Structure 1
């Protein structure tokens, strides 16, 4: 592994962390540093939408705070595979996640909804750095729903 690959891997991992931080903190504009403007995002396995980044960003900002006022991701096992051509302009990235979120139980209390799964990104090198061109959220397990 050369210095360029080490740098690329750190930058991509940083983008994945910024993604979860943006979602958890509600800093929606932070997502602009993660995705390409035309990125395709698919949250259908968790009951969400599949659309382009601008539409999904607006949906997240509206829906998540309404149903899940607090959010917290944990990430693990970030696997990065660069394109087979050896140009390192594209990378397939899979990150394990655990995402517990408290929500109103409808009886004056709270319940915790949890998702565990895999974030599958396709990252591309852009003039602004590595950005995700595609995200598919694969749900492996859920609890509390």
Structure 2
């Protein structure tokens, strides 16, 4: 009985820590902190922002791409996540969550909106849970800077 309680508490702590990483990604992105965004990923992480964007391989590529986007494309952003679903598997986990993201563009284009999902793979590291993979899938968008996105897989 005590072991079961300890396992349930550990799972709750892991879920909270993973949700904190997801929220930190949004927080640091919106605050224009590319170094802090990149530090949430494993050194060999993969980010797939959609079919019209090159996959980003590794923390340094993620850092560079986020820094460039924040410096050259986005004047401001606001990311909101909800409905976070996490599946734990020992030292690994997967998650999916809903995303609403607003983007103000430096070039003066109309503000872009995105209704989407983040799909993650996580790994527990000595520094805590880190994102090993992030895939962005869109349900809809208005004035977004990409014409094509991965679909959410709606039946």
Partner of 1:134: 133
Report the Cα distance in structure 1 between the residues aligned to 2:31 and 2:105, rounded to whole angstroms: 16
CA deviation digits over 1:24-70, x for unaligned, max 9?
1111121244110110111124x433121311220111123322110
Query: Are 2:105 and 1:103 aligned?
Result: yes
Q: Determine the C-alpha separation between the residues in 2 that align with 1:67 and 1:51.
A: 17
**Partners of 1:119 and 1:65 in 2: CA distance:** 23
Where do 4+ consecutive residues of structure 1 move more than 6 Å?
none
Q: Distance in 1 between matches of 2:114 and 2:99?
A: 8
Partner residue, 1:49: 54
Cα distance in 1 for partners of 2:124, 2:106 equals: 41
**What are the within-5 Å matches in structure 2 for residues 19-30 of structure 1?**
19-30=25-36
Note the 1:28-107 alignment, pairs <5 A. Answer: 28-45=34-51, 47-52=52-57, 53-83=59-89, 88-104=90-106, 106=108
Unaligned runs of 5+ in 2: 1-6, 145-155
SS of the residue corresponding to residue 76 of structure 2 reads coil
Aligned residue-pair number: 137
TM-score, with length taken from structure 2: 0.81
Given that 2:75 and 2:106 are in contact with CA atoms closer than 8 Å, whether structure 1 keeps it comes out as no
Matched residue of 1:14: which SS? helix
How far apart are 1:100 and its partner, in Å?
Answer: 0.8
The separation in 2 between residues aligned to 1:62 and 1:138, in whole angstroms, is 22
Structure 1 length-normalised TM? 0.86
Q: Distance in 2 between matches of 1:56 and 1:36?
A: 10
